[in-house]
Structure formats: C-alpha cells, structure tokens
Chain A
Amino acid sequence: MHQSTLAQLSTALESNQISSEELTTLYLDRCKQFNGSLNCFITINEELALDQAKSADQQRAAGNASPLTGIPIAQKDIFCTNGIKTSCGSKMLDNFIAPYDATVIEKMNAAGIVNIGKTNMDEFAMGSSNETSFYGAVKNPWDQDTVPGGSSGGSASAVAARLSPAATGTDTGGSIRQPASLCGITGLKPTYGRVSRYGMIAFASSLDQGGPMTQTAEDAALMMNVIAGFDERDSTSAEHPVDDYTARLNDSIEGLKIGLPKEYFGEGLDSNIAKIVEAGIKELEKLGATCKEIELPNTELSIPAYYVVAPAECSSNLSRFDSVRFGHRCENPKDLSDLYCRSRGEGFGKEVKRRIMIGAYVLSAGYYDAYYLKAQKIRHLIRDDFQNALKDVDVIAGPTATGTAFKLNEMIDDPVSMYLSDLYTVSVNLAGLPAISVPAGFVNNLPVGLQLIGNYFEESRLLNIAHRFQQATDHHKAIPEGFE
C-alpha cells in the first residue's frame, strides 16, 4: 500500500479497500521506523493524525469526501500549524507553537487531509542540502551518505522513502525542485502568487512560493486542486482564475514547442546529467513535441542577483525574531542590546547569519544602488529573457540541478559553491514563473530531474507534459532500496 500514489490511495479509500485510520497507522509506523535514520521529520503528529483520520473516515462514510480526504500528507515545517510546533528548522523557533494555521494548512484541513508530520528543512529555508537545519541533516534514501537537497529536503526524502505519499514544500530559489531532483520525486513550484504565502514563514517574500512534492505529476495536480487559489490575506496572491489541474493531464502534447536554453547545457553541466536530460527530452519528442535552441542570456547573472535580493528580503523578514513576543531568548540578558544580539546570535545558525548580514549590507547606506537596485534591474532583464523566449516556445526544458545528490558535509563550509549549484532554478523565482522537476533517470544509482518551465499560470500545461512523460517512463516509480 505504501507504494501507492495519491491517486491510487484515493481510489482505495473510495472503494473501502482501506480506511484512513488504517492508512494513517501504516504511514505512521513507517515514519517511526525510518525517521531515526533519515531524519526527515521534525515532528510526527501521531495523535493529531489519527484524530484527523477518524474524522476523515466519518466524512467519507457521510459521503462528504473530496479526492484527498483521509490521505496523510507531510507538511514542511515552514507552514504554521495551529497548536503544533512550527520550527522552520531553527533553534529560534524550537519552542514555537503556532497559534494559527497557514492558508495552505487551512485548505488541506478543509479537504480532510491528514497532517502526518512536519518535515525537516534547511533553517528558514536557507540552504540547498538540508544540512543547515537545527535538527540535523536529512539523509537521502537513495544513498544515506548523501544529502536530499534543500531546503525542502525532509519533504523530498519522506516522499522518496514513501514515509508519506506526498508532502508540501516551498521554493524560493529551487527549494522544491532541487530536492525533488536529488530524491527522484516530482516537485512543482507554482507561479508566484498562485499559492497563498499566508502562514508560510517568510524567507524572501518576493520569491517564496509553496507547492506540492509528490510521486507523480497527477498527484501534484490533485494537491494543487486543494492548495492553489486567491487568498485575501496575502496581498501578493493572484486573483487569476484557478484551473482544475487534473482536467488536462491526458491531453496530447503533439505539436508542443520546447525551448532548450543553450545556457542550461553549457560547461557547468555534468555530462552524465546532460545525457539523462537529453534522453528525457527525446522522450518528449517521441510524444510529439518539437525542440529548438533558445537563449536566456542573463542566466549566469541570476545567481548574483538572487544572492542580493533573497538575503536583502530575509535580513528584514527575520528581524521579527527578536525574542520579545516569541522565539528563543538568551539567559540573563544584561540589557536590551544584549537580549537582541545574544538571542539572535544563539537562535540562528551560521548560514542564516551569513545571509542576514549580506542582506543588511546590500541595503545599507551607500550600497543600496550598487547591490540591491542593480540586482532588481537584472531581475528585470531575466524576466524579459524568459518572456522573449516564451514568445517562440511553449515551455522551456533543461536540468533541474547541476549534479546528483552530493555527499553530506561536502559543501557545508563552501557557501559560494553551494550557491552556484542553484544555477538552473533561481532565475525562475526571480521571474516568478512556474516550473516542475520530474524524475528522468539515474546516474550512479542517484536520481536526476528534468525541469520544465512554463509561462505564468500555466501549471496545468506543465502538469500535462509531466504526466504524459510519466505515462511513457518509469523513473518516477523507482523506490530506493530498503524502502520498497
């Protein structure tokens, strides 16, 4: 049963093959069995999950079920969940019990989804390896000496190991797509504004976007049907009509025009990865798509621009963690400055501190124009690059990550190398576009993801292409050894 997708579980529940309580118990057992080694959960909600499962069963019996009612889904610990510890992977919030639900959680609760646990993540979503978490590194189930990627590494690892059939993630510079790629699952970063940010602890407000991390594109569509939509509590939420994301899954992709940015297949790309990605694109051609080379000339600048914009916003967003109303407080502060500096110094890890300092620096008097403003101008160029390219092609395809899962501790002391590994993902966030990563094969038994980037609000199209791809391939069905 634990090898089933959301779609299959939905059918099993619908046909009374299994109850939500049984299903939830099964996944809880797996979580308890494997979390010790993988460390994908910060909190496992045993009691709450069983309560929710029981009411889901009643809901289903009463005929009030929606497709995902009664299915356990793991939540990244960045989403506030009323009455449950919401740590954001930080010591700062180790004692924080959220007093309200994020909109995404509210929508999941309303759909009768069982909140099985809160997944581990890079501290405040800052990281690409999940090693910056206060709760320790998450292991990649494909090779437990390697990282699962980040920042949604706990979610990716949990879904890959089938400790949860699906999970939520958030993506500020690749934090859904890169771990999806490294763990061999499907991850969709929706258009900026498509999924409400309310209650999702902010890293970089103009880049952050929540989305599904699942086994299949079909599952991602089912989750999008629950979480997408306008939210009056989020000023940046889009009032754009919401699709039924499952409606077009099976449409033919005959005639689809795919753009292949030459900048994505250049020197930085490992040749083994390139082979897998190219094979994936061939598969799409077999399904009727045509490819053409395109240019995204400012791709390289996306990394420096991102590492100005994201830290600038995060330095300000994280100022609220001052130990006055919530959060870690140092022992015996001697005065107000001591309270601030020590509480924050102790509560935040190194990577978070680095980014806060970079952010404070690029916004400070005398540097604003040279850094922040310059980066926002480059952001404009990057957005224009995509818009120009998307005039000629329907979607853009390429690798998700520059490599496969790397060894634990390999890059932890080299932030710049870590940042450079985000090359194919950050520009999408700067432009606010939707993008999906789907499993496309393996290199040395480690998964490789294929990334598809679409135009604004074209999640349905991306899901359709990904679904057709998955109908034709088996990569997404592979389960790491020991978790079958």
Chain B
Amino acid sequence: MSLDKSEVQKIAWLARLSIDEQDISTYSDELSNILGLVETMNSVDTDGISPIAHPLDLTARLRADAVTEVNQREQFQKNAPLTDNGCYLVPKVIE
C-alpha cells in the first residue's frame, strides 16, 4: 500500500498535525515504505487466531468508589499555556 499526498494530508488532519507543504512527498514516501514493511504480515495466515490486546491474560481489578483526590488546580494550571478564572482557554469554538 502506498500513501499518496492526499492520504497523507487526510491522516495528518485526523491526527491534527500541520505538515509543511514541501515535506508531504517525503512523508508520503516514508510512510509508504513503513506500510510496505508492515504488510509483510500478510505472509502468514491468521485465520482462527484470536487477537490479543495485552500480553498477559489478566482481568481488571476494580477500585472502591471513594473520593481520594483533593483540589490541585493551582499547581496543575502552572503548566497551562493560558487560563482565566480557573478555566483553560482555547480560541473561541464556534458551534
């Protein structure tokens, strides 16, 4: 599978990544090469094999329903690019 420029742009948008116009063809080549490597998977028949999402077959351990966290807004927001009145700010979203 090779990825053409428009597909690269589509994926870049899906992942919210701006990419310089002049870099698109490099990405297109590199990503196509990677997919070429990835497609060597097709050499093996996996019919009847179940996919595994985790290496160990463990099941979830659940947490008791208790409030354990305290307000740390001030500390957390020290890392925030822009805040006002305790809110994180982003350019106005038009709905």
Contacts and interface: CB of A to CB of B under 8 A. Distances in A.
Tell whether any CB of A sits under 8 Å from a CB of B in the complex.
Answer: yes
B19 to A, nearest CB: 6
A36 to B, nearest CB: 29
A205 B58 CA distance: 15
Nearest to A335: B91
A235 interface: yes
Contacts of B92: 335-336
A420 to B, nearest CB: 8
Interface string A359-375: 11110100000010111
A415 B56 contact: no
Interface stretch (A300-308, A389-397, A444-452): A300-308
A60 interface: no
Contacts of A55: none
Interface stretch (A111-119, A273-281, A378-386): A378-386
Contact of A432 (B56, B78, B82): B56
A304 B54 contact: no
B70 to A, nearest CB: 12
Contacts of B54: 192, 206, 236, 432
Interface stretch (A16-24, A71-79, A95-103, A467-475): A95-103
Interface in B43-95: 43-44, 46, 49-56, 58, 60-61, 63, 72, 75-76, 78-82, 88, 90-93
A375 to B, nearest CB: 6
A206 B41 contact: no
A262 to B, nearest CB: 18
Nearest to B83: A325
B12 to A, nearest CB: 6
B51 A373 contact: yes
A326 interface: yes
Contacts of B33: 415-416
A304 B41 contact: yes
A376 B46 CA distance: 10
B40 interface: yes
A426 to B, nearest CB: 12
Nearest to A236: B54
A356 B15 contact: yes
B3 A97 contact: no
Contacts of A344: 15-18
Interface string A333-348: 1111111111011101
Given A235-B61, A340-B16, A354-B31, A378 B11 contact: no
A326 B16 contact: no
A95 B78 CA distance: 10
A66 interface: no
Interface in A207-227: 207
Interface in A390-418: 415-416
B21 interface: no
Given A238-B56, A361-B31, A356 B17 contact: yes
Nearest to B72: A99
B16 A376 contact: no
Contacts of A327: 79, 81
Contacts of A323: 81
A69 B91 CA distance: 49
A301 B41 contact: yes
A125 B93 CA distance: 33
Interface string B2-41: 0100011001111111110000000100110111111111
A337 B41 contact: no
10 contacts: A99-B78, A193-B56, A238-B58, A298-B44, A339-B91, A344-B17, A345-B19, A361-B31, A362-B38, A374-B46
Interface of B: 3, 7-8, 11-19, 27, 30-31, 33-44, 46, 49-56, 58, 60-61, 63, 72, 75-76, 78-82, 88, 90-93
Interface of A: 95-97, 99, 191-193, 206-207, 232, 235-236, 238-239, 298, 300-301, 303-305, 307-308, 315, 319, 322-327, 329, 333-342, 344-346, 348, 353-354, 356-362, 364, 371, 373-381, 383, 415-416, 419-420, 429-433, 456
5 smallest beta-carbon distances between A and B, as pairs: A432-B55, A345-B18, A376-B51, A329-B81, A326-B79
